[in-house]
Amino acid sequence: MEFILEANERKVDKQSQLTDIRTGKRVPGIVYGFSQKPISMDVDYRELLKILKEAGTSNVVTVKVAGKEIKVIVREYQQDPVTDKLTHVDFMAIDAKKIVETKVPLEFIGISKVVREQGAQLNKKAFTVDVQCLPADLPAKIDVDVSIFTEMGQKLVISDLVVDEKVTIMNDPNNPVANVTVPKKMVIKTAAEEAEEAAAAAEAEEGAEGEAKPEGEAKPEGEAKPGGEAKPEEKK
């Protein structure tokens, strides 16, 4: 799939210019890298959102600016800490014959048997990885199949990820990606423990029945009434 983004070249001017650009529903940015002279520009807010959603940081984008068509990848973007609105974007120009390094998102797929049937908790420890490869070999995403989790305590690390031989993952191979654990509120008991608890419960129930008084049992004579002592029996 080809990704194209139209941009307007802009001159680096006062801060007020950036405010005007953002007010006009556009985002300031820059293209730089390799033999490309840095070009300051601005792009449509909605079009940039679409590019970030569909292309992310691991797909080649063609930026049309200043009469040129430049092959780039999204290197970085900034957001307002309060509103999360995009405030700036950096594009890195690439050379089809030179290796690039960028981030690729992980996509968790499948259903874990131990999660579905035993109530285990799936913990995702990583959401992107750093990769190196030629631009044409950049994967849009890397799948993480969690259906391999069949027992509590199992885990996946970076070295378990499956990628094309032309792609090199730069992260520590022992870094965690995901695991399955027993939820904090869940206690797993062995068959012996369950049998022991059942026997203890049955014994307690039998003891409670033995202590119960039979119905209609007569009270002893002279038994004190609630609230005072019993009166002696009068002689006739």
The string of pLDDT tens digits covering residues 115-156 is: 999 999 999 999 999 999 999 899 989 999 999 999 999 999
Backbone angles phi, psi at 206, to 5 degrees: -65, -40
C-alpha–C-alpha distance, residues 169 and 176, integer Å: 14
H helical segments located in 152-231: 191-211
Q: Which residues contact 130 (CB under 8 A, 6 or more apart)?
A: 101, 102, 103, 104, 169, 170, 171
Q: Is the pTM of this model over 0.85?
A: no
- Within its chain, how far is the Cα of 168 from the centroid? 23
Q: Is residue 131 in a domain? A: yes
What average pLDDT is seen over the chain? Answer: 84
Residue 8 and residue 74 in one domain: yes
pLDDT digit string (tens) for 21-57?
Answer: 777 789 999 999 877 789 999 999 999 999 999 999 8
Q: Is residue 236 in a domain? A: no
CATH code at position 23? 2.40.240.10
User: 9: how many CB neighbours lie within 10 A of its CB?
Assistant: 13
Residue 115 and residue 171 in one domain: yes
pLDDT at 190 over 70: no
Q: Point out the domain boundary residue: 146, 165, 181.
A: 181
pLDDT, mean of residues 209-221 = 54
CA dist 81 to 57, 78, 87, Å?
21, 9, 10
Residue 66 and residue 119 in one domain: no
Residue 86 and residue 122 in one domain: no
- If one compares 186 and 9, the residue with the highest pLDDT of the two is 9
CA dist 193 to 77, 188, 190, 199, 204, Å?
55, 10, 5, 10, 17
Instruction: Give the strand pairing for 36-44 and 26-33.
Output: antiparallel
DSSP, collapsed to helix, strand or coil, labels residue 183 as coil
CATH code at position 137? 2.170.120.20
Total structural domains within the chain: 2
Q: Point out the domain boundary residue: 95, 125, 154.
A: 95
C-alpha–C-alpha distance, residues 47 and 6, integer Å: 9
Q: Point out the domain boundary residue: 181, 196, 217.
A: 181
pLDDT on residue 236: 47
Share of the chain above pLDDT 70, in %: 78
For residue 77, give its domain range. Answer: 3-95
pLDDT at 113 over 70: yes
**Which two structure tokens, joined as six digits, stand for 197?**
């608890």
Residue 118 and residue 90 in one domain: no
C-alpha–C-alpha distance, residues 194 and 200, integer Å: 10
Q: Is residue 230 in a domain? A: no
Q: Is residue 7 in a domain? A: yes
